[in-house]
Amino acid sequence: MSRTRYLDLDDRSEDVRELMRQRPNESREFLEKYELSWIYHEAALEGMVLTHAELRQAFEVTGVTDSSMVHAYTEVRNQRNAIDLIKQEARARTVKYSLALVKKIFETLYNGLPNRLPVTFRRDMPLHRTYFHDIVQPVQIQPGLEQLFEFMSSEEFLKMHPIKQATHSHHRFMEIFPFSDLSGKVGRMMMNLILVRSGYMPVIIHSIDREKYYEGLRLPATQFGQVIADAMDNSLDNAYTFFVPGWNAITRKRAASA
């Protein structure tokens, strides 16, 4: 991805941060809606599409009245808890990207689900209906993760632009695909931890871009970065639309091409 693209995303991100600093009350409303959208699209990426009413019902104190939705609502609450965990980790003075952190995210996402499995690496090569990219053999998972985390603590990685850090580490994590279940959710949480810690909005992969994201994982990491940059552009567009009445993405694109 070009330096110009990074600079554009940096400038637009700073504009959104400034809007949020100036309007704290509206910022709280925006973040609440944004995180609800994050939860919705994370579920949709994994094949679970919920209505707005069902999302709200999942957080009701009175509990779930429809027994058929218990599993789905538990996943939704776990996703919100994982987002809270990421925000907490992002505020820490230092973050160590490690197997311990991966397991912590995994356990948060799997908490309270029926047939809950222990945190163990996959032992097979699953035939996925969702993910079609090549993944490593089970015997390569442990060394693959160790190499990834070693790279993420290296000077080379730390010198990268944060968006490049996020996209390259996520691309490799998804190649390793350590768990039979939830690898995608865990990987995207790790990616967004890097972004949030660096002052960026978390990237939401919208359900309409589901195929684009999955196909992107089959490309080299540099090309996959374009997929994530496009998703970040969309997130920033949503923020502008919320804070600036009458603004829309078409206006920006016309101005950029003028």
Tens of pLDDT, residue by residue over 134-193, are 899 999 999 999 999 999 999 999 999 999 999 999 999 999 999 988 999 999 999 999
SS3 sequence, the chain? CCHHHHHHHHHHHHHHHHHHHHCHHHHHHHHHHHHHHHHHHHHHHCCCCCCHHHHHHHCCCCCCCCHHHHHHHHHHHHHHHHHHHHHHHHHCCCCCCCHHHHHHHHHHHHCCCCCCCCCCCCCCCCCCCCCCCCCCCHHHHHHHHHHHHHHHCCHHHHCCCHHHHHHHHHHHHHHHCCCCCCHHHHHHHHHHHHHHHCCCCCCCCCHHHHHHHHHHCCCCHHHHHHHHHHHHHHHHHHHHHHHCCCCCHHHHHHHHHC
Please report the pLDDT score of residue 91 as a whole number.
95
202-254 pLDDT, tens digit each: 999 999 999 999 999 999 999 999 999 999 999 999 999 999 877 665 555 54
Q: 210, 172 in Cβ contact below 8 A? A: no
d(CA 108, CA 103): 8
Domains and CATH numbers, the chain: 3-123+134-257 (1.10.3290.10)
Rounded to an integer, what distance in angstroms lies between the CA atom of residue 188 and that of residue 227?
13
Average pLDDT over residues 41-48: 91
In the chain, % of residues over pLDDT 70? 89
Whole-angstrom Cα Rg for the chain: 18
> In this predicted structure, what is the pLDDT of residue 46?
87
The Cα 27–Cα 195 span in angstroms is 18
**Can you give the pTM of this predicted structure?**
0.90
- Rounded Cα–Cα distance for residues 195 and 16 (Å): 14
37 Cβ partners below 8 Å, 6+ apart? 204, 238
